[in-house]
Amino acid sequence: MAASSKFNLAVLIILSLALTAFAECESKSGPGGGECRSKAKSLKLKLIAIASILITSMIGVCLPLFSHSVPALKPDKELFSIVKAFASGVILATGYMHVLPDSFDDLTSDCLPENPWRKFPFTTFVAMLSALVTLMVDSFAMSHYKKLGASGGGSYLHNHHHVQEKIGNGGSGELGIVKDEVKPENENATSEVLLRHRVVAQVLELGIVVHSVVIGLSMGASDNQCTIRPLIAALCFHQLFEGMGLGGCILQAEYGTRMKAIMVFFFSATTPFGIALGIGLSNIYSENSPTALIVVGLLNASSAGLLNYMALVDLLAADFMGPKLQQNVKLQIKAYLAVLLGVGGMSLMAKWA
């Protein structure tokens, strides 16, 4: 009888500990207790967030696209390089200071079983694989477009520059053809650079869209106004300058109006869409459920690897190793200061978001 009582007592203790741990997992949703939780007030903040983030995102991504009306912001000007360096620093800090730590928090949560989630560094492993996959996509996309160009199937770029040269020569077809024949190497080099800009713009947007939806979903599903309020300001800052970095890439890619509009729409709408989705799923979505933690954690790790690769290789290294900055030491120093300012500002935002 005594043995049975001890066994029952042990079972009760184990069950109570399990229920306590489960309750802790269900209640973990940021700072603050009951005073911070109000569905009505948090819903108002979320609606404000949708409008403000949408407007800020559109301003950020569209500013570089309308730089033709501001001569100082044209891609060949020094100010454009400085602003782009600042925005690249913001993107770099987003990956390292926001997305990567969130993935660590999710995948090492006490709500997940210790084996395998705390036995193996899944966040860094997935981020590393994501960076390698981004490199592969970068490389294969360039090879694909080059082959299309060589076989005549991708003659768009050739025609694009050919038409531009004709226009520059007063519409003379003969002069345009002569220019094509005189400088084929320069045209090929220009076409390759343009292809590179297009691949960079598309891959960068993919990474931004992934983590924007995840951020929006988390905000939309939360009822903690103490967490949402500072997040709005942080995300507006983030979307403004990240948008400027993406907008600069879209501008250099020389897309047509339709493609520009599509890319602007997806960048601007993804975070508000994520918030709206989170609001709709708030009754069934629990950010501390094992499934949510694993899915969001892996998506964040993938996004972090992609953003870090894009910021370092395709944006910063490409610009700082390019002829424009290499031939101008003063501009190079200004650009480095802009990068540090972007990294510092976005890192400071990590205190609130």
- Tens digits of residue pLDDT in 92-147: 998 999 889 989 999 999 889 988 998 999 999 999 999 999 999 888 888 887 77
Using an 8 Å Cβ cutoff, are 289 and 111 in contact?
yes
Buried b or exposed e, range 166-180, using 16+ CB within 10 angstroms = beeeeeeeeebeebe
pLDDT for residue 183 is more than 70? no
For 37, the 3-state DSSP assignment is: strand
For 224, the 3-state DSSP assignment is: strand
pLDDT for residue 316 is more than 90? yes
Report the pLDDT value the prediction gives residue 285, as an integer from 0 to 100: 73
Report the pLDDT value the prediction gives residue 283, as an integer from 0 to 100: 76
- What's the whole-number average pLDDT of the chain? 80
Alpha helix segments (H runs only) across the chain? 2-27, 39-62, 78-93, 100-107, 114-117, 122-151, 156-168, 173-182, 184-221, 225-253, 257-281, 290-309, 318-320, 323-326, 329-349
Mean local confidence (pLDDT), 65-84 = 81
Q: How far is CA 128 from CA 104, 146, 149, 151, 201, in A?
A: 14, 27, 32, 35, 21
pLDDT for residue 245 is more than 70? yes
For 180, the 3-state DSSP assignment is: helix
Residue 187, both tokens: 């045209």
Q: How far is CA 162 from CA 157, 165, 179, 237, 279, in A?
A: 8, 5, 9, 41, 50
The tally of CA atoms less than 13 A away on the side-chain side of residue 239 is 32
pLDDT for residue 165 is more than 60? no
Of 95-104, 152-161, 301-310, the poorest mean pLDDT is in 152-161
Report the pLDDT value the prediction gives residue 7, as an integer from 0 to 100: 45
Burial bucket for residue 298 (CB in 10 Å: 0-12, 13-18, 19+) = middle
Report the pLDDT value the prediction gives residue 343, as an integer from 0 to 100: 94
Higher pLDDT, 218 or 59: 59
Of 72-76, 89-93, 105-109, 248-252, the poorest mean pLDDT is in 72-76
Q: How far is CA 306 from CA 121, 143, 253, 270, 300, in A?
A: 18, 20, 19, 17, 10
Report the pLDDT value the prediction gives residue 130, as an integer from 0 to 100: 93
Question: Which of 34-48, 130-144, 176-190, 218-232 is modeled with the greatest confidence?
Answer: 130-144
Contacts for 149-156: CB closer than 8 Å, 24+ residues apart: 149/191, 149/195
